Amino acid sequence: MQTFSFYSDGRLTVRFCGELDHAAAASAMRAVAEAAGEYLPRTCVLDLSGLTFMDSSGIAVILRAQRLLNHTGAALTVQSPPEQARRVLELAGLSKLLEQPKQQRREVGSI
């Protein structure tokens, strides 16, 4: 598995690519911890769009990341999980961490 980190305006994004399973969990958590320690973000987003598989080890990574970020006062969200990872998150009761798409504002015309 590979991880990529991006930081801008207080928002850290950590993107996971490949399989987030038992073999990859330790390096995934290390990547989150190192990036969070370096940037001290206000918000951290775990971007799961590059995952091809995630099991309960991915849930453990997300929960550990949430605990780490709570200690620094940062908020954690999860974005763009593929369908298989979304099902794992929902079964684990973590769908509340999923970043909701921004709603587009509709302009209301004047009468």
- Could you tell me which CATH number the domain at 2-97 has? 3.30.750.24
- 84-102 pLDDT, tens digit per residue, is 999 999 999 988 888 765 5
pLDDT at residue 100 in the model: 60
State the pTM of this model. 0.86
pLDDT at residue 82 in the model: 96
Burial of 73 (C-beta count, 10 Å sphere; 0-12/13-18/19+): exposed
Q: Could you say which DSSP state residue 73 is in? A: T
- 5-27 pLDDT, tens digit per residue, is 999 999 999 999 999 999 999 99
- 44-80 pLDDT, tens digit per residue, is 999 999 999 999 999 999 999 999 999 999 999 999 9
Q: How far is CA 56 from CA 25, 65, 84, 88, 109, in A?
A: 10, 14, 12, 8, 49
Tell whether the model's pLDDT for residue 109 goes beyond 60. no
